[in-house]
Amino acid sequence: MKHRKLFALLLTVVLSVGAVFTGCGSGSGQSDTIKVGFYGTLAGSGAYVDTAAKMAIEDYIEQINANGGWLGKQVQLVSYDVSKDPATESVTAATRLIEQDKVIGIVGISGTASTLPIISLCNETQTPCIASAATNTKVTMNEDTGEVYPYLFRVCFIDPYQGTALADFAYNDLDIQKVATLTRVNNAYAMGIQEYFKEQYTALGGKIVKELGYQETEVEFRAQLTAAADAGATAILVAASEYKDAGLIANQAADLGLEFTFLLPDGVYASELLNVAGDTLGSSYISVGADENDPAFADFKSSFDEKHKDSGYTANIYTYYALDSFMLLEYAVKTADSLDGPAIRDALENAKDAPCFTEAITIDPETHNPLNKSITVLTVKDGAYSVYKTYKPE
């Protein structure tokens, strides 16, 4: 028995050492390349978000390298998939990026759930991490102590910001009195949006007539929609994180002959939403950080879609956010003129009007969130998104 266990232990050690060395063959020992880390859902059903983001960053790096790189060094993106078990794999992927690949920072993490596990790791190892679409307040702030995490940043707006804005918009602009909410209940993002929407909307004097929810793999929403209609709701806040959910909800409401105004957060914003639910999204309003089809992005989008035609992935809003996070890191590296973690961190914290993809970003040193992010409200018209209104907070 003893020998067996010894053997088991030995095998485990050998395997773990093997694991450490397998991925390191390429590029280790070349100190003239700067490595930037990225991880996300690159396989499985949620892969459409992060795969396009990864491609876009790699394309952008090609351009950078053609122009001489950063600080005279070539740049390389190291990316890992964490789709099997984000809670565990985020930790191992990030540790590997930081330790084995020696990345100067981690960018483009699109989910709250896959950012939260690595907060203490980034702080301990002094590795800046810029989330692209992790919108929960807990990503950059310790809620118990009110302190900001020194190495965590983000380029997107936060859940309270968007939830509150949607509530203001629904109550003031659309004059909707009764809203039902339909929330993906095991999703941190969706729960956050719903929570802050409810808070602001009831504070304004509106009424939430029904709070409904659904589980992650759900495809059938008619029971909830019927209940919402019965409760007298004229609008539904669809706190979803994937466009599929919002599309199916709109389709099934149309099937039931129910007419709701749908209020959608940016999590469901994708051109594919229109393929799933084109005409059924009749009177929907969606709040986003940037209009995907803004002429300013048209060149990028068409060249990206053309280049990656065969992959089946198209540029979407997350692609832009991911580029934002990468370009913010680029700005910080260049401002700090250093590859040192703390130096980059300081540059990130004091970033002012950093030229990013969607707009110039200024980081609030108190919260590590971008300041004055504009919110654009889109509506669906004739099977396409059109800008309804843009808020530019001062």
Partner 1 sequence: MNLFLQQLVIGLSIGSVYALLAVGYALITSIFNFTNFGYGAVMMCGAFAAYFAVVKLGFPTLIGLVFAIIFAVFISLITELVAYRPLRKRKSPRLYLMITAMGFNIFLLNLAVVLLGANVRYLPSTFSTDSIHMGSIVVSALDVYSLFASLISLAVLWVFLYLSKQGLAIRSAAHDTDTAGLMGINVNKVSLIVFAISGITAGIAGTFMGMKYTVYPNLGDIANKAFIASVIGGMGSLPGAVLGGFILGVIETMVSGYISSALRDLFSFGIMILVLIFLPNGIVGKKVQDKL
Partner 2 sequence: MLYIFSIIVFVCVHGIAVSGLSLLTGYTGIFSIGHAGFMAVGGYAAVVLYKNLGVPFLLAVVLGGFIAVIVSVILGYPALRNKLEGDAFGIVMLGFVTVVRVAISNIKPVLGGAIGITGIPRLSSVWLVILITAIMVYCMRNFIKSDYGKNCMAVQQQESAAEMVGVNPLRTKLRALMISAFYGGVAGGLFVFYATFVSPMSFAEAKSNDLLAAVVLGGMCSLSGPLMAAGILVILPEILRFLAVWRLVFYGLAFILIMLFRPDGLFGYREISFKWVGRLYHKIKAGIGERQKRTGRG
Residues that bind partner 1 (CB under 8 A): 43-48, 51, 182-183, 185, 212-215, 217, 219-220, 222-224, 226-227, 230, 243-244, 247-248, 252, 255-257, 272, 275-276, 311-313
* 303 sits near partner 2 (criterion: CB under 8 A): no
Shortest distance, CB of residue 227 to partner 2, whole angstroms? 17
3-state secondary structure 93-161: HHHHHHHCCCCCCEEEECCHHHHHHHHHHHHHHCCCEEECCCCCHHHCEECCCCEECCCEEECCCCHHH
Interaction residues for partner 2, span 222-241 (CB under 8 A): none
Interface size with partner 2, residues (CB under 8 A): 59
Shortest distance, CB of residue 229 to partner 2, whole angstroms? 24
Q: Which residues partner with 246 through β-bridges?
A: none
Q: What residues contact residue 55 under an 8 Å CB cut-off, 6+ apart?
A: 304, 308, 311, 313, 319
Helices (H) and strands (E) in the chain, counts: 13, 16
Among 1, 63, 220, 295, binds partner 2 (CB under 8 A): 1
Residue 311 binding result from partner 1, partner 2, none, given CB thresholds of 5 to 8 Å by partner type: partner 1
Provide the residue type at 203 as one letter.
A
Whether 352 contacts 336, CB under 8 Å = no
Q: Which is nearer to partner 1, 179 or 329 (CB)?
A: 179
Q: Which is nearer to partner 2, 125 or 335 (CB)?
A: 125
Contact track, partner 2, 131-170, x by CB under 8 A: -----x-x---xxx--------------------------
Q: Which is nearer to partner 1, 171 or 189 (CB)?
A: 189
Q: Which is nearer to partner 1, 273 or 329 (CB)?
A: 273
Q: Which is nearer to partner 2, 80 or 321 (CB)?
A: 80
Interaction residues for partner 2, span 62-121 (CB under 8 A): 79-81, 83-89, 91-92, 95-96, 98-100, 112-113, 116-117, 119-121
Whether 120 contacts 133, CB under 8 Å = no
Q: Which is nearer to partner 1, 96 or 244 (CB)?
A: 244
Q: Please give the Cα distance from 307 to 285 (Å, whole number).
A: 31
Q: Please give the Cα distance from 254 to 239 (Å, whole number).
A: 19
End-to-end CA distance of the chain: 70
Residue 30 binding result from partner 2, partner 1, none, given CB thresholds of 5 to 8 Å by partner type: none
Element (DSSP H or E) covering residue 12: helix 2-22
Rg (CA), the chain: 22
3-state secondary structure 360-372: EECECCCCCCECC
Q: Centre a 10 Å sphere on the Cβ of residue 202 and count the other Cβ atoms it contains.
A: 14
Chain contacts with partner 2 (rule: CB under 8 A): 1, 3-5, 7-8, 11-12, 15-20, 22-23, 42-44, 47, 51, 79-81, 83-89, 91-92, 95-96, 98-100, 112-113, 116-117, 119-121, 125, 136, 138, 142-144, 185-188, 190-192, 215
